[in-house]
């Protein structure tokens, strides 16, 4: 029973993008149209339950579009929506930022206890 609408848009985004899968799925969908089984192959450690749940969430968020084709061994295609495409560079920016942090100055893991005095 989480409040679906929070006061802050950033919280709402994080509610959707949190966890290991959303960014990964977006990464693979960025490569083009994917089917359910393609996405499972792309990321073999996700379970089908998780994949359906995460895809549904991204669909509800308007990031992913689901297209179901009538038929026999039922076919479903997943794509990024235009909104989803616009999200990609923002995630890339986060990744780039993180690389500068990692490389950044004095990631002092030497002193387990930090003490300062003013």
Q: Distance of alpha carbon 118 from its chain centroid, rounded?
A: 42
Q: Residue 67's beta-bridge partner residues? A: 77
Nearest to 78 by CA among 42, 36, 40: 36
SS3 110: coil
In angstroms, give the least distance from the CB of 61 to DNA: 15
Q: Which of the choices DNA, a copy of itself, none does residue 114 contact, using the CB cut-off of 5 to 8 A by kind?
A: a copy of itself
**Binding-site partner at residue 117 among a copy of itself, DNA, none, CB < 5 to 8 Å by type:** a copy of itself
CB of 20 to a copy of itself, least distance (A): 7
Residue 50 makes contact with DNA by CB under 7 A: yes
Provide the strand spans (E) within the chain. 34-35, 64-69, 75-80
Find the distance separating the first CA and the last CA of the chain, reported in whole Å.
45
User: Which CB atom, from 74 or from 101, has the smaller least distance to DNA?
Assistant: 74
Query: Where on the chain is the footprint of a copy of itself (CB under 8 A)?
Result: 8-15, 17-20, 22-24, 27, 61-63, 66-70, 83, 86-87, 90-102, 104, 107, 113-118
């Amino acid at each position: 029973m989480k409040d679906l609408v929070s006061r802050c848009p950033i919280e709402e985004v994080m509610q959707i993008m949190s966890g290991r899968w959303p960014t990964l799925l977006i990464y693979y969908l960025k490569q083009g149209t994917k089917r359910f089984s393609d996405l499972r192959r792309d990321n073999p450690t996700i379970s089908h339950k998780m994949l359906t749940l995460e895809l549904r969430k991204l669909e509800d968020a308007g990031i992913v579009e689901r297209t179901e084709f009538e038929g026999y061994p039922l076919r479903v295609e997943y794509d990024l929506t235009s909104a989803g495409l616009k999200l990609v560079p923002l995630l890339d920016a986060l990744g780039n930022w993180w690389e500068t942090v990692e490389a950044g100055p004095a990631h002092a893991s030497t002193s387990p206890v930090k003490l300062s005095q003013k």
